[in-house]
């Protein structure tokens, strides 16, 4: 995995919301977390996204939005978000398959999935980037560290 480095301008991207609307990098808020994860409904991904949901109010208090990104189809992501009670957007990198994950250096072409990578973005630039190995959750403490560095 070759993550983009802090200071890098965010690549232009276009993803699909759970309701089929297109969302581009130009439409993103001033500060956000782009959280790539392999698959909806999987054990580790679900635990990670539940933890982000638990901290959502804190993130929004810091004016940071969360966007989860996987290669799942928008319909699967909608069902997943409803099942898990997620109040942040899940975006589909379904077609072209994994194109955005590829741009961000976190696509596993052999398995056809996004890898676990997180980008904190402010004003169109990457402020921090971190990842974890397959099967390993990213700890909440690493998100806090990113937010403190960027403050």
**Active-site annotation holder among 10, 33, 45, 52:** 45
Cα–Cα distance for residue pair 8/126, rounded to 1 Å: 6
Q: Strand 89-92 and strand 107-108: pairing?
A: unpaired
Whether residue 106 lies in the annotated active site: no
- The values of phi and psi at residue 88, to 5°, are -120, 160
- Are 90 and 15 a contacting pair, CB within 8 Å? no
Cα–Cα distance for residue pair 24/22, rounded to 1 Å: 7
The catalytic site residues sit at 45
């Amino acid at each position: 995995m070759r993550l983009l480095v802090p200071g890098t301008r965010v690549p232009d991207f276009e993803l699909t919301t759970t309701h089929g609307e297109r969302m581009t990098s130009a439409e993103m808020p001033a500060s956000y977390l782009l959280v790539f994860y392999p698959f909806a409904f999987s054990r580790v991904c679900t635990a990670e996204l539940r933890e982000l949901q638990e901290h959502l109010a804190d993130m929004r208090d810091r004016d940071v939005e969360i966007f989860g990104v996987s290669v799942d189809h928008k319909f699967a992501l909608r069902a997943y978000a409803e099942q898990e009670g997620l109040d942040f957007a899940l975006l589909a990198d379904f077609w072209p398959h994994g194109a955005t994950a590829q741009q961000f250096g976190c696509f596993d072409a052999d398995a056809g999935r996004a890898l676990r990578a997180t980008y904190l973005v402010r004003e169109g630039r990457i402020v921090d980037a971190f990842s974890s190995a397959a099967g390993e959750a990213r700890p909440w403490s690493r998100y806090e560290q990113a937010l403190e560095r960027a403050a």
